[in-house]
Amino acid sequence: MTADLPAEVSRLSKEESFTFSCHPGVACFTECCRLLELALTPYDVLRLRLATGLNSSQLLADYLLVEQEAGEPFPRVYLSMVDDGRASCVFASASGCRVYPHRPAACRSYPLGRAVSRREDGSLTEQHVLLREPHCRGFAESAVNSITSFTREQGLASYNRSNDRLAEILQHQAIRQGFIPNQSQNGFFLHALYDLDLFRADCLASTALGTEEKSRLATDDEFLLSFAMAEVERQLFADLPRGLSFTRLERHGPC
Ligand code: SF4
Ligand code: SF4
């Protein structure tokens, strides 16, 4: 047990292994999909669009909640839970997760937790913890995992890549020094990163972008999200306007 962590949380190094498996046969199947606060990253939302067939605006309206605590630099986006007395995830069903191939990173990683922090020189370091909650029977299974094998099996590479890029914004030096984006900037943060289809429409309507760039933005979701992150970074931290006209800048102001 580590002194500064709760009893059920322990640090895990790359060299260590853990026994764990989750499948429909475990007695606790979908128990971890109840009574939770599930914060979503932009890449989670990108993938949930694919799972549901909804565009990002519909997802935001029907399934997501936006909150911003006083003093927090950025708004947070949560998946809504249903009022069934157990605060179940909106995508949980008796037969499992209804968006399984596109489930969010937090669902893929459980019971492994990954935190990245940005060093002074801008590079990122990662740390892992293992969460052993009493209700989770997966630890009684015999499958042996390492961080590397579990990350691979859960398809986390593309999620980690995008979320590491996001960490460069969330942990930017200006933010660490106390900069709080204003309402308009946070409106753009939500619009560009979480309402990707609307952001795409704005990019395609912009006269500042070339045909080749637009063609890729029109068809490549991950390129579009990378582009959006670069734009957010520019608009928040560098006064380098590119002349883009984002007419819907304040559509998703923080609640
Ligand atoms: S509680 Fe653990 S074993 Fe049970 S469904 Fe969730 S992850 Fe799987
Ligand atoms: S998205 Fe799927 S795996 Fe994640 S909490 Fe909801 S039902 Fe469970």
Q: 56 near 45, Cβ under 8 Å?
A: yes
Q: Quick one: which of 117, 206, 108 has its CA closest to 158?
A: 108
Host domain of residue 65: 9-159
Grade residue 242 by pLDDT with cuts at 50, 70 and 90.
very low
Please list, in sequence order, all residues whose beta carbon lies within 8 angstroms of the beta carbon of residue 93, skipping any fewer than 6 positions away: 30
Residue 165, in any domain of the structure: no
Residue 210, in any domain of the structure: no
Residue 139, in any domain of the structure: yes
Grade residue 13 by pLDDT with cuts at 50, 70 and 90.
very high
Tokens of 214: 């637009």
Ligand 2 atom closest to 90 (CA): 6
Please list, in sequence order, all residues whose beta carbon lies within 8 angstroms of the beta carbon of residue 45, skipping any fewer than 6 positions away: 56, 59, 64, 77, 194, 196
Any ligand 1 atom below 6 A from CB of 26: yes
Tell me how many domains the chain contains. Answer: 1
For 202, the 3-state DSSP assignment is: helix
pLDDT tens figures, 41-75: 999 999 999 999 999 999 999 999 999 999 999 99
Residue 130, in any domain of the structure: yes
Residue 229, in any domain of the structure: no
Residue 144, in any domain of the structure: yes
Q: What value does the mean pLDDT take over residues 127-148? A: 96
Round to whole Å and give the CA distance between 236 and 234: 6
pLDDT tens figures, 169-187: 999 888 988 999 999 999 9
Residue 2, in any domain of the structure: no
> How far away, in angstroms, is 139 Cα from ligand 1 center?
9
Residue minimizing CA distance to atom 7 of ligand 1: 22
Q: Quick one: which of 136, 129, 92, 89 has its CA closest to 112?
A: 129
Round to whole Å and give the CA distance between 9 and 247: 46
Number of H helices, E strands in the chain: 10, 12
Ligand nearest to the CA of 32: 1
Which residues share a beta bridge with 10? 130
For the chain, helix, strand, coil in percent to 5 are: 40, 15, 40
Rounded to the nearest integer, the mean pLDDT of the chain is 91
Q: Which amino acid is at 11?
A: R
- The least confident of 107-116, 117-126, 151-160, 214-223 is 117-126
The pLDDT score that the predictor gives to residue 228 is: 98
Grade residue 215 by pLDDT with cuts at 50, 70 and 90.
very high
Tokens of 105: 């990173």
The pLDDT score that the predictor gives to residue 119 is: 81
Round to whole Å and give the CA distance between 248 and 235: 15
Ligand nearest to the CA of 106: 2
Q: Quick one: which of 57, 109, 48, 51 has its CA closest to 79?
A: 48
> How far away, in angstroms, is 99 Cα from ligand 1 center?
16
The pLDDT score that the predictor gives to residue 3 is: 56
Q: Could you give the C-alpha distances from 136 to 81, 92, 97, 146, 147, in angstroms and in order?
A: 20, 16, 16, 18, 18
Place of tokens 């911003």: 68
Tokens of 146: 């390492």
Residue 176, in any domain of the structure: no
